[in-house]
Amino acid sequence: MLLAFSTWPEIDERLKSSRTVIIPIGSNEQHGPMGLLGTDWLCPEIIAHAAEKSGDLLIAPTFNIGMAQHHLSFSGTISLRPSTFMAAISDWVNSLARHGFDRIYFLNGHGGNVATIEAAFSEIYSDYSYAAEPCPFILKLRNWWDLPGISRLCAKLYPTGHGTHATPSEIAVTFAAYPDRVKSHTMEPQVAPNGPIRDALDYRARFTDGRIGSDSSLATVEDGQKIIDAAVAGLIDDIAKFDAE
Amino acid sequence: MLLAFSTWPEIDERLKSSRTVIIPIGSNEQHGPMGLLGTDWLCPEIIAHAAEKSGDLLIAPTFNIGMAQHHLSFSGTISLRPSTFMAAISDWVNSLARHGFDRIYFLNGHGGNVATIEAAFSEIYSDYSYAAEPCPFILKLRNWWDLPGISRLCAKLYPTGHGTHATPSEIAVTFAAYPDRVKSHTMEPQVAPNGPIRDALDYRARFTDGRIGSDSSLATVEDGQKIIDAAVAGLIDDIAKFDAE
Amino acid sequence: MLLAFSTWPEIDERLKSSRTVIIPIGSNEQHGPMGLLGTDWLCPEIIAHAAEKSGDLLIAPTFNIGMAQHHLSFSGTISLRPSTFMAAISDWVNSLARHGFDRIYFLNGHGGNVATIEAAFSEIYSDYSYAAEPCPFILKLRNWWDLPGISRLCAKLYPTGHGTHATPSEIAVTFAAYPDRVKSHTMEPQVAPNGPIRDALDYRARFTDGRIGSDSSLATVEDGQKIIDAAVAGLIDDIAKFDAE
Amino acid sequence: MLLAFSTWPEIDERLKSSRTVIIPIGSNEQHGPMGLLGTDWLCPEIIAHAAEKSGDLLIAPTFNIGMAQHHLSFSGTISLRPSTFMAAISDWVNSLARHGFDRIYFLNGHGGNVATIEAAFSEIYSDYSYAAEPCPFILKLRNWWDLPGISRLCAKLYPTGHGTHATPSEIAVTFAAYPDRVKSHTMEPQVAPNGPIRDALDYRARFTDGRIGSDSSLATVEDGQKIIDAAVAGLIDDIAKFDAE
Amino acid sequence: MLLAFSTWPEIDERLKSSRTVIIPIGSNEQHGPMGLLGTDWLCPEIIAHAAEKSGDLLIAPTFNIGMAQHHLSFSGTISLRPSTFMAAISDWVNSLARHGFDRIYFLNGHGGNVATIEAAFSEIYSDYSYAAEPCPFILKLRNWWDLPGISRLCAKLYPTGHGTHATPSEIAVTFAAYPDRVKSHTMEPQVAPNGPIRDALDYRARFTDGRIGSDSSLATVEDGQKIIDAAVAGLIDDIAKFDAE
Amino acid sequence: MLLAFSTWPEIDERLKSSRTVIIPIGSNEQHGPMGLLGTDWLCPEIIAHAAEKSGDLLIAPTFNIGMAQHHLSFSGTISLRPSTFMAAISDWVNSLARHGFDRIYFLNGHGGNVATIEAAFSEIYSDYSYAAEPCPFILKLRNWWDLPGISRLCAKLYPTGHGTHATPSEIAVTFAAYPDRVKSHTMEPQVAPNGPIRDALDYRARFTDGRIGSDSSLATVEDGQKIIDAAVAGLIDDIAKFDAE
């Protein structure tokens, strides 16, 4: 069930049987010379929407802009400051909790979001903790690549060149979902360098085409579909456990 | 050209010929018993993506959550506080301006967003105004229903029952774009009441099924397509004028 | 009854019979070569204080600084950032609501304030809307030129050259109230240009003497008095309707 | 010269000879059973406007709402949170500094404002101090009762019963300026108690009619005029020293 | 009893007999050529920890960074903006109040902190004052040099050259507590100048070695111990009165 | 070299040879029935101060309060909201960077701080990234238990019962440094349970004595000294690499 394509009475009805909602969350940022700028929000959206077809899930609209300050030297990147990102997450959560959702699950597609999302959770919980009041909902963050089965699959598909940004796995997922958007590019060097992440100019100087440790050219539609399939199974499984908590 | 489906080098290339970007912006909120919760962000997205096919436009990802506090008594509504919304708009603008975009056009789908978006523009301009520095970009807000030709068309299509929330025109646009999501519902009363907009409980008491002044059941796929076609033409025209300024 | 010239026991007494309070709100900003910097807060103050003499009204102190970032290239302009303005409006409202006022009416004198005041109202209502609590007060914004009868009168008095900033009507109101402050200046051009409002340097370049679309030299003490008289009647009438809601 | 009653070209002209501006700042809060709610903003306004008649001074509009949280249990009090108050002071200063004012003098009428105004000054200076940039303006806070000659005069006029809130001196100043607003009330007890200032309910319990340590009934129009005269002389003198710094 | 060296069950036990907690609060900032950067947080910590040995006191960890923007032109100074400082004080208070402490006493070591701490108190109280709720705790600020007996002792020890920053008394306190950290320096001039405090560059230009009005070289270990002894007695006395309130 | 025990000229001198500064950062929060409330800020302080004796390091004052909202149901815990914590970190960094420090190293003692510190780094970098300016400093976060050699040593010392909160290793470090503060307590159960971390009431219900997965009673002074020795070596080594970057 896609929340945005439902009516409010349908959500009311849904709440009678389940109080769990999944928010695909990512970032719109450079993904090297052949990865789509939307990769990090497209991946969790693709996986969540695919899972919705086979599982009994409720998917919120996609939170498509995240914390990507380090990518701002590359055109097309849109970033929220951590403080803004936290305020927005808080407003999403308080809106959904208002309706009675008590299990709010963020399916994340951007590693750079993790710290800020967790800080946002702590900020939200703080209101209850200072007031000595029980928090009426549970927040959970899951990166899609941490869903059960994914890391093993990626290690098998990409024994070398997976890296950590503009990875072949994430690009493959977008290619599988949008085969008319497949792009190719000669990687130079084949595998990008590694290094620390700091501000945007430093990033651009270290990672000249935007990739970190990856060979994006390994991405194929076929592998992308395998990853999606595994992630769908993993997500349905993970939500079942979350519901059962 | 869809920004999220482009690579950063493609955006770099684009910036050589055009520094204009369009952001579809809306809200995810109740739209009465047969309107989709996503209506207000779907409409500008539908129009912008359709226009992108025929015009030389660059479309940013959709800003899908807006200021909808008054709808929070209806399940599925997600709202940002005005202060959060303003901070997020500021971060979007500063990100895009960082890349050299100097004409940033918000195609809006939610009347309730207007005041806050304008306040956000003033907040952004303030930095330059206090500092006596020239602002390197122009911000523009356009509601899709204010695009040239739309209001006349809607008046013709819906001589009565258009109203101001959950209107047949906006619902028709979503139906035309997503015919498999068409819903129907017996309106009771046929035309919803009018009244002031205040907090969420007050809203729910006044507008019991969520509509304001509208008869949503007038929406059809066919009329929706007519509105989309008119809006596409209007948008391409409006952007041409904006570029020429 | 002027709140600032009353004692707290008198306000306590007043609250037994009426819970409505009127806040004149405006801006201190350039008004062209012959308009007073205080025009936009003087007008609602003049009208409200005049109405207080004939009607049973409670007038709060004047909120004299508003959102005027676009006027900052002209000396004497004082502006609040929208975020500051919103915080201040919220504190005023929460203070007055604390005492039991449940109808808080802002009589506004500056078009540039409208978006931010409405965003402030939404921010204030949000607290109640997220919490699913009834808001104990009603907020209302009324521009003095939108009071019943004013626009027709101005159209009659100024068939051309009214414009939208440093208008003859607002300047006339201040002249009528402060005849010893009447100023004159040769308008050059007679009627100022029109155009969009952006940041302060852009504004100064477009509107070289500060006016927009107006011929301020049409202002006279006599016409100002007519406008004040009409506005007083309109305000008393508008408050009566507000009370009756 | 009153800024609000001037035009922007007049302020431009003024800036050629003087870059000093005086802001009367106070609070709108209960002042016991016979003191006006506006006392604390009226006093600095009265003194500054009187001084303007004999001295070559530029007076900004009055900042009429300050930090009065402790008075909120008494009807009519309007308070800004310290954080809001600081943001507003910062915006005033940045607006005035934008025009070239480099000596910004706050003539204060409310003891409860002092800490927050000084914190605001530090917040404003911080921007320059972190950036290692010279601050282009000087901020100064002066309570009107600390102007040269005032404390001695008050000690002479009110050997007992002056106290610290709803004092006969401040009430006398308002009575002298607005003799038609003179009020009287039997003080019970004659001299109000003293004690610490905390939150609003605590304040109301300690100081049942709002006064602290004072006998407001000592206020007379005549003494008020003496105080005004002394304050006018003191202000003109103080500004001369400030200009000469 | 030192809170940081206790366990939570010990604090639980403590709360059965006393609900008072003392927070040493200061600043880390330049103290002239021979004063330690930590002087202002070391002094209240030294006094509070010494008092804890003879009195039945509970001492929280030291709040060691305060508002020192004016000292930022001297290396080693660390400052919080007033707004940050206020937020942090609020969080400390809300944490301690959560456990049931109802008397929270700040023993301050930095004059530059006073305004901001008081503004923070007002911000904290505001929540209760707007809501018309009783505040469950009392906040108190005491500068260690204002403890009973200290000012007389310092006047006796330093008839000249005490001054207001990098004073011999505060330096002596640190020397007495940390005799291995004693430093010496030839003062030039012997007694530093006085003047107003503004931004950091202005401060550096006025007070070239950082001192204000003081001759730091008067500080000795012996006098420091006398001051500590007096302050310990004064603190125990002051807390007894605070408890009894 | 301890910054707080130095003078500003000494820091000036230091900056000629090294622009690196280490900030011990932790939290003041419950650590089970026998761990000190200060454990998480004491550990990095103990290690940093010990390392300072053998290495050429500059140690800032300890940042002793962190993000501990989940521990607020246990007396003595003091927590900063993530937003406050981020603002304070930003002010520390901007103060130190003002003096020329270009390598700012946070030695952290609290796992719950990690996300917020990283979010703070991103917030700080954002200013430079949006502005396309090079950031003049490098920020680094290192948990003391992640220093080279520590995890292996702890695994050897505590093959079972190490856990993740109130661990025997951190408690041992405090016992070694403060042997007069050694406490003991019968653990019940011997090894505490594991589980997710959410708000404070949820935490208290899950982890009844505060520990997570640990047997604090394994802590000894001797083992604590071994850990300190290893951490000192690890820290000196880590800083050398950081300096060399």
Pairing of strands E138-143, B103-108: unpaired
Which of helix, strand or coil describes residue A10? helix
- When pLDDT is cut at 50, 70 and 90, the band that residue A146 belongs to is very high
Which of helix, strand or coil describes residue F103? strand
CB proximity F94 to D under 8 Å: yes
Say how many CA atoms lie within 13 Å of B165 toward its Cβ.
28
Mutate to test the interface with B, among F83, F128, F130, F133 (most CBs of B within 10 A): F130
State residue C142 phi and psi, 5-degree precision.
-135, 120
Pairing of strands E138-143, A103-108: unpaired
What confidence score (pLDDT) does residue E227 get? 98
Measure the CA–CA gap between F29 and F69, rounded to whole angstroms: 9
CB proximity F130 to B under 8 Å: yes
Do chains F and E touch by CB distance (3+ pairs < 8 Å)? yes
Contact A39, A109 (CB under 8 A): yes
Is E94 within 8 Å of A130 when comparing Cβ atoms? yes
Measure the CA–CA gap between B23 and B41, rounded to whole angstroms: 11
What residues of A are in contact with residue F112 (Cβ under 8 Å)? 122
Backbone CA torsion sign across B5, B7, B13, B19: positive
What residues of A are in contact with residue F200 (Cβ under 8 Å)? 125, 128-129, 132
Mean predicted confidence (pLDDT) in B222-232: 98
What single-letter DSSP state applies at residue D62?
A: P
CB proximity D131 to B under 8 Å: no
Do chains B and D touch by CB distance (3+ pairs < 8 Å)? yes
Measure the CA–CA gap between C146 and C81, rounded to whole angstroms: 25
Number of domains in chain A: 1
Farthest CA pair distance, chain D: 57
- When pLDDT is cut at 50, 70 and 90, the band that residue A186 belongs to is very high
What confidence score (pLDDT) does residue C4 get? 98
Backbone CA torsion sign across C40, C44, C49, C54: positive
CB proximity C98 to E under 8 Å: yes
Size of interface A-F (CB pairs under 8 A): 123
Q: How far apart are the CA of A120 and the nearest CA of chain F, in angstroms?
A: 8
> By CA distance, what is E67's nearest residue in D?
D122
Closest listed residue to residue B147, CA positions, set B219, B221, B237, B60: B237
Which of E130, E135, E199 shows the shortest C-beta gap to D125?
Answer: E199
- When pLDDT is cut at 50, 70 and 90, the band that residue D232 belongs to is very high
Farthest CA pair distance, chain B: 57
> By CA distance, what is C31's nearest residue in D?
D7
Starting from the edge strand earliest in sequence, which strands make up the sheet with B138-143, in order?
B20-25, B103-108, B138-143
Tokens found for residue D214:
């004072």
For residue range A98-121, list pLDDT tens digits in order: 999 999 999 999 999 999 999 999
Is C75 within 8 Å of D12 when comparing Cβ atoms? yes
> By CA distance, what is C90's nearest residue in E?
E130
Q: Say what the pTM is.
A: 0.98
Contact E132, E156 (CB under 8 A): no
Measure the CA–CA gap between A34 and A32, rounded to whole angstroms: 6
> By CA distance, what is D78's nearest residue in E?
E130
| Domain extent for C188 | 3-243
Percent of chain F with pLDDT over 90: 99
What residues of A are in contact with residue B41 (Cβ under 8 Å)? 4, 61
Q: List, in sequence order, every residue forming a beta bridge with E2; answer none if it has no partner.
A: E59
Measure the CA–CA gap between F191 and F166, rounded to whole angstroms: 11
Which of A6, A80, A92 shows the shortest C-beta gap to B76?
Answer: A6
What residues of A are in contact with residue C132 (Cβ under 8 Å)? 98
Mean predicted confidence (pLDDT) in A178-193: 97
CA E227 to the chain's CA centroid: 14
What single-letter DSSP state applies at residue A146?
A: G
DSSP H or E stretch at residue E123? helix E114-131
Measure the CA–CA gap between C58 and D79, rounded to whole angstroms: 18
Q: What is the mean pLDDT of chain A?
A: 98
What residues of B are in contact with residue C72 (Cβ under 8 Å)? 129-130, 132
Q: List, in sequence order, every residue forming a beta bridge with B233; answer none if it has no partner.
A: none
Do chains E and B touch by CB distance (3+ pairs < 8 Å)? no
Closest listed residue to residue B101, CA positions, set B12, B25, B15: B15
What confidence score (pLDDT) does residue E153 get? 98
Measure the CA–CA gap between B173 and B224, rounded to whole angstroms: 4
**ipTM entry:** 0.98
- Encode chain C (245 residues) as per-residue pLDDT tens digits: 999 999 999 999 999 999 999 999 999 999 999 999 999 999 999 999 999 999 999 999 999 999 999 999 999 999 999 999 999 999 999 999 999 999 999 999 999 999 999 999 999 999 999 999 999 999 999 999 999 999 999 999 999 999 999 999 999 999 999 999 999 999 999 999 999 999 999 999 999 999 999 999 999 999 999 999 999 999 999 999 999 98
Is B94 within 8 Å of F132 when comparing Cβ atoms? no
Vertex F107, ends F106 and F109: CA angle to 5°?
125
Q: What is the mean pLDDT of chain C?
A: 98
Is F132 within 8 Å of B98 when comparing Cβ atoms? yes
| Number of neighbours of residue A152 by Cβ within 10 angstroms | 10
Site of tokens 């992440």? A197
Residues 39-68 of B with CB under 8 A from C: 67
What residues of F are in contact with residue A139 (Cβ under 8 Å)? 198
Using CB atoms, list chains with 3+ pairs below 8 Å to chain E.
A, C, D, F
Question: Could you tell me the CA-to-CA distances from E55 to E52, E58, E236, E237 in Å, in that order?
Answer: 5, 9, 6, 9
Cβ neighbourhood burial of F210 (10 Å; 0-12, 13-18, 19+)? buried
Mutate to test the interface with B, among C72, C103, C122 (most CBs of B within 10 A): C122
| Number of neighbours of residue E102 by Cβ within 10 angstroms | 15
CB proximity E98 to A under 8 Å: yes
What residues of D are in contact with residue C81 (Cβ under 8 Å)? 87, 91
* Ranges of chain E with pLDDT below 70: none
CA F214 to the chain's CA centroid: 18
Closest listed residue to residue B18, CA positions, set B50, B47, B59, B46: B59
What confidence score (pLDDT) does residue C239 get? 98
For residue range F60-108, list pLDDT tens digits in order: 999 999 999 999 999 999 999 999 999 999 999 999 999 999 999 999 9
Tokens found for residue F184:
């003991």
Q: Provide the H-helix boundaries in E55-109.
A: 82-98
Farthest CA pair distance, chain A: 57
Starting from the edge strand earliest in sequence, which strands make up the sheet with C103-108, in order?
C20-25, C103-108, C138-143
Is F91 within 8 Å of E75 when comparing Cβ atoms? no
Q: List, in sequence order, every residue forming a beta bridge with F167; answer none if it has no partner.
A: none
Query: What residue type is A77 in one-letter code?
Result: T
Is B199 within 8 Å of C125 when comparing Cβ atoms? yes
What residues of C are in contact with residue A95 (Cβ under 8 Å)? 130
State residue F59 phi and psi, 5-degree precision.
-110, 125
- When pLDDT is cut at 50, 70 and 90, the band that residue F127 belongs to is very high
Which of E8, E62, E80 shows the shortest C-beta gap to F75?
Answer: E8
What residues of E are in contact with residue D200 (Cβ under 8 Å)? 125, 128-129, 132
Tokens found for residue D2:
């009153």
State residue B108 phi and psi, 5-degree precision.
-100, 145
What confidence score (pLDDT) does residue D214 get? 98
What confidence score (pLDDT) does residue E51 get? 98
Q: How far apart are the CA of D223 and the nearest CA of chain E, in angstroms?
A: 33
State residue D141 phi and psi, 5-degree precision.
-115, 130
What residues of B are in contact with residue A28 (Cβ under 8 Å)? 3-4, 60-61
Cβ neighbourhood burial of C2 (10 Å; 0-12, 13-18, 19+)? middle
Which of helix, strand or coil describes residue B142? strand
Question: DSSP letter string over D76-142?
Answer: T-B---HHHHHHHHHHHHHHHHHTT--EEEEEE--GGGHHHHHHHHHHHHHHHHHHT---S-EEEEE
CB proximity A9 to F under 8 Å: no
E9 contacts: CB under 8 Å, gap ≥ 6: F33
Contact A94, B68 (CB under 8 A): no
What single-letter DSSP state applies at residue A34?
A: T
Farthest CA pair distance, chain C: 57
What confidence score (pLDDT) does residue C116 get? 98
Tokens found for residue F112:
């719950």
Which of helix, strand or coil describes residue B24? strand
Is A199 within 8 Å of F125 when comparing Cβ atoms? yes
For residue range C146-175, list pLDDT tens digits in order: 999 999 999 999 999 999 999 999 999 999
| CATH code for the domain in which residue F137 is found | 3.40.50.10310
Which of helix, strand or coil describes residue D159? coil
The b/e string for A20-30 (b: 16+ C-beta within 10 A; e otherwise) is: bbbbbbbbbbb
State residue B174 phi and psi, 5-degree precision.
-70, -35
Q: How far apart are the CA of B93 and the nearest CA of chain F, in angstroms?
A: 10
What residues of F are in contact with residue E99 (Cβ under 8 Å)? 75-77
Measure the CA–CA gap between A172 and A162, rounded to whole angstroms: 11
What confidence score (pLDDT) does residue B91 get? 98
Contact C42, C174 (CB under 8 A): yes
Percent of chain F with pLDDT over 70: 100
What confidence score (pLDDT) does residue E40 get? 98
CB proximity B132 to D under 8 Å: yes
CB proximity C95 to E under 8 Å: yes
Site of tokens 């300047």? C171
Q: How far apart are the CA of B27 and the nearest CA of chain A, in angstroms?
A: 10
Is C77 within 8 Å of D99 when comparing Cβ atoms? yes
What residues of F are in contact with residue E64 (Cβ under 8 Å)? 4, 61-62, 64
What residues of B are in contact with residue F129 (Cβ under 8 Å)? 98
Mutate to test the interface with A, among E84, E93, E94, E128 (most CBs of A within 10 A): E94
Residue C189 preceded by cis peptide, ω within 30: yes
Residues 15-44 of A with CB under 8 A from F: none
Q: What is the mean pLDDT of chain D?
A: 98
| Number of neighbours of residue B226 by Cβ within 10 angstroms | 18
Percent of chain A with pLDDT over 70: 100
Q: Provide the H-helix boundaries in F158-244.
A: 168-177, 200-206, 221-244
For residue range B152-190, list pLDDT tens digits in order: 999 999 999 999 999 999 999 999 999 999 999 999 999
For residue range A3-16, list pLDDT tens digits in order: 999 999 999 999 99
